[in-house]
Amino acid sequence: MQTFSVDEKGYYGEFGGAYIPEILHKCVTDLQYAYLDILESEQFKRDFHALLRDYVGRPSPLYFSQQLSDRSGARIYLKREDLNHTGAHKINNTIGQILVARQMGKTRIIAETGAGQHGVATATVCALMQMPCTVYMGKTDVERQYVNVKKMEMLGATVVPVTSGNMTLKDATNEAIRDWCTHPEDTHYIIGSTIGPHPYPDMVARLQSVISKEIKVQLAEKEGRDYPDYLFACVGGGSNAAGTIYEYLDNDNVKIVLAEAGGKGVDSGESAATIQLGSIGVLHGCKTLLMQTEDGQITEPYSISAGLDYPGIGPIHANLASQKRAQVIAVNDDEALKAAFELTKNEGIIPALESAHALAALEKIAFNPTDIVVLTLSGRGDKDLETYFAQIDKD
Ligand SMILES: *Cc1c(COP(=O)(O)O)cnc(C)c1O
């Protein structure tokens, strides 16, 4: 039987594993030994679900979109992660991981962030749990993301601008790993997506799987069956997609469509279409598909959407793509922008630019009229207003 879950060594097919410096060996193996028992303990489940309900605002609605259905020729539902506290799915993971950290006796949290969304979600739960929080962020990103930096500081986090390399996400990640190496005893590193060394991809996927657990219940109520014909999600590192598909991986009736960021075009040299352009390598602790030069230097990715602008892809998704369990579609900047403006005008929902990539992918599939489609709207568009307004001024 084919399985898409992680094996005991932390691999999904040929992808995954834990490629870490010796000094982190103990932190990572401690987490490997502890995480499943913690996630499956009654106390964790109680605390996690209480916070998801009363603090995050779950379950997030499953909204039937008449407009999208008419346009696409299928029955289209939106899973509204944009309505969560802090505006995206990322909070599901940070709440779960801070509870894991507390259970493991950790007293300090670190994180890295690119656009600042994961930094804000981490700073938020650190304020909630009264834990000190340090967020590493490339200096270029600090300058580009003024509002998120100020939010993190207001929430009580220390934001450290990183001046090495290109001063963006991968440099911030290196710095966070360096911090973890020097404080392995008291510090938990909250990784924001289904990336990093085992057990992070599996842990994050399990924490985000609340998305597909809710879809099952909500679809059963609305359609009389608990699975759709198609699931759509955008992929940066892959966490909202992993949460969306988790409960359906072994159900062959459910087709999976992942939208990655084509940027200015897959062959333009300015793209973040990792699955199409990537080759196998090791990044941030796991073996996966990466955008790299022939001699293994990471290529700087590009997308209009900061959350999809990552040179790697989670090992779960690298495996799903290589096994052909998931279909991967590259969506370019202009297509995502168009889909975002259409959803705004037709439904009164301003989506995050990341989520707009999944919306644009709807147009690339020929549906049957009876098909049931669930698309995860990973976040709201407040953080992208400047980009949207610049586009309006251009038109
Ligand atoms: C961060 C982010 C993403 C991309 O991250 P994944 O781990 O691939 O889900 C997508 N959508 C929104 C709104 C985000 O903030």
Which residue, 327, 317, 239, 329, is CA-closest to 13? 317
Asked whether the predicted pLDDT for residue 82 surpasses 60, the reply is yes
Q: What would the pLDDT profile of 206-243 be if each residue is shown by its tens digit?
A: 999 999 999 999 999 999 999 999 999 999 999 999 99
* pLDDT on residue 311: 86
Q: What would the pLDDT profile of 191-200 be if each residue is shown by its tens digit?
A: 999 999 999 9
Q: What would the pLDDT profile of 258-278 be if each residue is shown by its tens digit?
A: 999 999 999 999 999 999 999
Cβ atoms 307, 115 nearer than 8 A: yes
For residue 138, give the DSSP letter: E
User: Looking at per-residue confidence, does 144 or 372 come out higher?
Assistant: 372
**Region 313-323: what's the mean pLDDT?**
97
- Residue 332 binned pLDDT confidence (cut-offs 50, 70, 90): very high
Asked whether the predicted pLDDT for residue 299 surpasses 90, the reply is no
* pLDDT on residue 167: 86
Note if 364 is an active site residue. Answer: no
- Alpha-carbon separation of residue 66 from 28, 72, 79 (angstroms): 47, 10, 14
**Region 35-64: what's the mean pLDDT?**
98
Q: Tell me how far the alpha carbon of residue 377 lies from the centroid of ligand 1, in angstroms.
A: 10
Residue list, ligand 1 pocket, CB within 6 Å: 88, 90, 117, 193, 234-241, 307-308, 352, 354-355, 378-379
The reply to whether domains 22-51+90-204 and 58-88+209-394 share a CATH topology is yes
Q: Which of 84, 207, 234 to mutate to test the pocket of ligand 1 (most atoms within 8 A of CB)?
A: 234
* pLDDT on residue 385: 94
**Region 135-164: what's the mean pLDDT?**
94
Distance CA 249, CA 62 (A): 20
Q: What is the dihedral of CA 121, 190, 201, 299, to 10 degrees?
A: 80
* pLDDT on residue 101: 98
Cβ atoms 48, 59 nearer than 8 A: no
* pLDDT on residue 376: 98
Query: Of all residues in the chain, what percent carry a pLDDT higher than 90?
Result: 87
Q: Tell me how far the alpha carbon of residue 3 lies from the centroid of ligand 1, in angstroms.
A: 25
Question: Which uninterrupted H or E stretch holds 189?
Answer: strand 187-189
- Residue 166 binned pLDDT confidence (cut-offs 50, 70, 90): confident
- Residue 395 binned pLDDT confidence (cut-offs 50, 70, 90): confident
Domain boundaries, the chain: 22-51+90-204, 58-88+209-394
Q: What is the CATH number of domain 58-88+209-394?
A: 3.40.50.1100
Q: What would the pLDDT profile of 339-370 be if each residue is shown by its tens digit?
A: 999 999 999 999 999 999 999 999 999 999 99
* pLDDT on residue 81: 98
How many helices (H) does the chain have, and how many strands (E)?
A: 16, 14
Give first-to-last CA distance, the chain, whole Å.
52
- Residue 158 binned pLDDT confidence (cut-offs 50, 70, 90): very high
Q: Which two tokens stand for residue 79?
A: 């899973």
Note if 153 is an active site residue. Answer: no
Distance CA 91, CA 97 (A): 10
* pLDDT on residue 130: 98
Beta-carbon contacts of residue 126 (< 8 Å; ≥ 6 apart) = 98, 109, 132, 133, 155, 156, 157
Asked whether the predicted pLDDT for residue 1 surpasses 60, the reply is no
Q: Tell me how far the alpha carbon of residue 304 lies from the centroid of ligand 1, in angstroms.
A: 13
For residue 362, give the DSSP letter: G
Instruction: Give nearest CA residue, ligand 1 atom 10.
Output: 354
Q: Tell me how far the alpha carbon of residue 117 lies from the centroid of ligand 1, in angstroms.
A: 8
For residue 242, which atom of ligand 1 is closest to its CA?
A: 9
Q: Where are the alpha helices (DSSP H) in the chain?
A: 25-40, 42-51, 66-72, 90-103, 117-129, 139-144, 146-154, 169-182, 200-208, 210-223, 239-245, 274-277, 315-322, 333-347, 353-361, 385-394
Return phi, psi of residue 144, to 5°: -80, -25
Q: What would the pLDDT profile of 147-157 be if each residue is shown by its tens digit?
A: 999 999 999 99
Q: Which of 239, 274, 331 to mutate to test the pocket of ligand 1 (most atoms within 8 A of CB)?
A: 239
Note if 170 is an active site residue. Answer: no
Asked whether the predicted pLDDT for residue 2 surpasses 80, the reply is no
Q: What is the mean pLDDT of the chain?
A: 95
**Region 103-124: what's the mean pLDDT?**
96
Q: What would the pLDDT profile of 13-26 be if each residue is shown by its tens digit?
A: 999 999 999 989 99
- Residue 369, helix vs strand vs coil: coil
**Region 282-306: what's the mean pLDDT?**
90
What's the pTM?
A: 0.97
User: Looking at per-residue confidence, does 166 or 124 come out higher?
Assistant: 124
Q: What is the CATH number of domain 22-51+90-204?
A: 3.40.50.1100
| From 79, 90, 170, 383, active-site residue | 90
Ordered DSSP codes for 318-335: HHHHHTTSEEEEEEEHHH
Cβ atoms 336, 353 nearer than 8 A: yes
- Residue 144 binned pLDDT confidence (cut-offs 50, 70, 90): confident
Cβ atoms 157, 136 nearer than 8 A: no
